[in-house]
Structure 1
Amino acid sequence: HPYTVDRKTELLDYNRIALLAEQVKPKMIICGASAYPRIIDFSEFRRIAERVGAYLLSDIAHIAGLVVAGFHPTPVGQSQFITTTTHKTLRGPRGGLILADKEHGHILDRMIFPGIQGGPLMHIIAAKAVAFQEALKPEFKKYQSRIIKNSKALAKNLQEKKFRLVTGGTDNHLVLIDLTDKKIT
């Protein structure tokens, strides 16, 4: 039962998401996106999940670096589970993470290692450690700030050239262009 954005605003419609959750009564709500250029309100997703007794999983693969640097709200404290990649905006090697609150973390630990994961690659673990260390530095925050600044500049320039942007702009590193009227894909 996927939720979608509002057709007119192209923004997440939290009221419609809440209505859908009330109808479906899911065991888990997954929030996050691979192509959403706006801020995701994790606290609103948490309220919706709590109302229907669902777990909340936030996928921050595309925005993790922005979250770490403080340029996007964090799902920590809102979601029981958080998934992300270690590449993309975190700038690490290809890989992934599943984070969980204290109540559920030990269950994931038992299910994943050694059950379905084994043979750790020490060079990849070391590379992830370097990426995490870099994410703690002021330079990382400056880098993420420039990402947003550049995305907003690109968005503005495209709009000046009469390209229609999905949602009318961007709050992160994603700029989505509606090419329908350009007759190209």
Structure 2
Amino acid sequence: MNTRTTALLVGIAVIAALGLTTVQRERAHAATASARAVMAGTAAAGSDADVQTEAQRTTPGVIAGVPKSRMVVAYRLDPSVTSGLFMGDRWVTPERYAFAQEGTKFVVQAKMQAIDDEGSDPLDLSGNWASRDPEMVALTREADGVVTIEVRKPGRTELVASAGGQTRTLQVTAKQTPDSMQVAIVQPAR
């Protein structure tokens, strides 16, 4: 291959990289603008007085809306499972999240995310969380829109998560065994 051909190929690669960067920036800009518009609409709409809890405060720095997408609830996988594989924190969004933990309670972290059909990275959201039975399921607001869900006793109840005008009602079922708490959390189909 001669020098001109090499220079031409390098030039094409540089132009392609610049074009890809521009497209990614335009997508991010459009998503941010859309989220701001939704956020302004959400602020004007007010809140649902039925499910007011301490865990409802919006976290600064997290976009409180849903840009061109649907909202899902993501759960943090147990770090003891992923850390040995050098995977870091992993968040999953199944319709049915079911696990068991040793002892008399079950604890998991969750957050709301905006997922679009274009395959873009999920966008973390901040919004409102509420438990229909706070004695069974307690919610604690953490940083960056993350909520710690603590299932304290067996039974059935609902969690309500809402952001950007969208609401997810999660069905929580818990069963106590002699040595563990088994929990299933089901969110509506996407």
- Richer in strand (by share): 2
TM-score if structure 1 supplies the norm length?
A: 0.23
Greater RCO structure (CA 8 Å; 6+ sep): 2
Which has the greater radius of gyration?
2
- Richer in helix (by share): 1
TM-score if structure 2 supplies the norm length?
A: 0.22
